[in-house]
Amino acid sequence: EPEVTQTPSHQVTQMGQEVILRCVPISNHLYFYWYRQILGQKVEFLVSFYNNEISEKSEIFDDQFSVERPDGSNFTLKIRSTKLEDSAMYFCASSEGLLAGETDTQYFGPGTRLTVL
Amino acid sequence: AQKITQTQPGMFVQEKEAVTLDCTYDTSDQSYGLFWYKQPSSGEMIFLIYQGSYDEQNATEGRYSLNFQKARKSANLVISASQLGDSAMYFCAMREGQWLTGGGNKLTFGTGTQLKVEL
C-alpha cells in the first residue's frame, strides 16, 4: 500500500542552524502539507502546497520556514535558523483532492523528530 | 472557541469491550469533514475513519464506527471489541471549506484522548 515517507526520522541540531526535512508524498496525490506536534501537545497545521505553490499557511509558518518541491517526488520543509521552540515532531501529509467523490483524506508520514539544542 | 474539543484526556477500557471517544466541533460551514487518527507510542499518525457533513449514514470501518450527530455537532468514535493494540492517543480533526477549493484544506486537531486497553 502506498505511504508517505519522511527522512530523517530524528534530527538533532544546534540553535541557529538550518535544517531540511524531507518527505516523499504518495505518488498520485496532489496536495501536500506540513504539520508539527510539540511534545505532549496537539497537532498544528503549518502549510499546505498545491501546484508548486503554497495554498495556505498558519501564523507559525513565518519567514524562517520555507517549502519546496524540488523534483517530481520530494517535498521539503526548510527551517532557516532553528530556535529552541522549533523542537517538535514534524509530520508531512498528502491527499489526492476532491475529485470524483474522493474524501481528500490526508495520509501522514511517520514524522521527523527535530531536537534543537 | 475551540474548533475541536475532546473532553477526555484519558480513558481506560477492558479488552473486548466497546469504548466511545468523544469529539465535539464548532463550525459555521455547511460542508466539512471529520476525521479520526490514531497515534501509537511510536508516534505515527494513522487514519482511521472519515465522516462528511452531508453523509446521512454513520461511517464504519471494521471495528471503528463514527456516531455522527450533526445537530449536536458531535462525532464520537466507537471502537468495538477493544484489543491491546488499540492502546494509543486518538485525535479528532476537522476540515472546513472543502467545497470552496478542489481540496487541500487544512485539518484542525483536538487535544486527543489517551486510550489504555487493559486485560
Q: What is the pLDDT of residue B36?
A: 98
Positions of chain B with pLDDT under 70: 98-101
Mean pLDDT estimate for chain A: 93
- Candidates B17, B15, B29, B41; CA nearest to B114 is B41
Contacts of B50 in chain A (CB under 8 A): 103, 105
> How confident is the model over A62-76, as a mean pLDDT?
93
Q: What is the pLDDT of residue B104?
A: 77
Q: In Å, how far from its chain's centre is CA A25?
A: 10
* Closest CB from B33, B98, B104 relative to A48: B104
> How confident is the model over A60-83, as a mean pLDDT?
94
Q: What is the pLDDT of residue B102?
A: 72
- Residue A81: CB partners within 8 Å, gap ≥ 6? A16, A17, A18, A64
Please judge whether A42 and B106 are an interchain contact, meaning their C-beta atoms are less than 8 angstroms apart: no
A65 touches chain B (CB under 8 A): no
Higher pLDDT, B2 or A65: A65
> Would you say residue A100 has pLDDT above 60?
no
> How confident is the model over A13-20, as a mean pLDDT?
98
> Would you say residue A90 has pLDDT above 90?
yes
Min Cα distance B34 → chain A (Å) is 10
Q: What is the pLDDT of residue B98?
A: 63
CA distances from residue B109 to A36, A42, A53, B97 in whole angstroms, order as listed = 11, 7, 24, 15
Say whether the peptide bond before residue A8 is cis (omega within 30 degrees of 0): yes
Measured CA to CA, the distance from residue B79 to residue B56 in angstroms comes to: 20
Q: Which three cell numbers stand for residue A106?
A: 490526508
* Closest CB from B45, B95, B106 relative to A91: B45
Q: Give the residue on A whose Cα is nearest the Cα of B36.
A: A105
Q: What is the pLDDT of residue A22?
A: 97
A97 touches chain B (CB under 8 A): yes
Please judge whether A31 and B104 are an interchain contact, meaning their C-beta atoms are less than 8 angstroms apart: yes
Q: What is the pLDDT of residue B49?
A: 97
Q: What is the pLDDT of residue A88?
A: 97
Measured CA to CA, the distance from residue A86 to residue B76 in angstroms comes to: 32
Contacts of A110 in chain B (CB under 8 A): 42-44
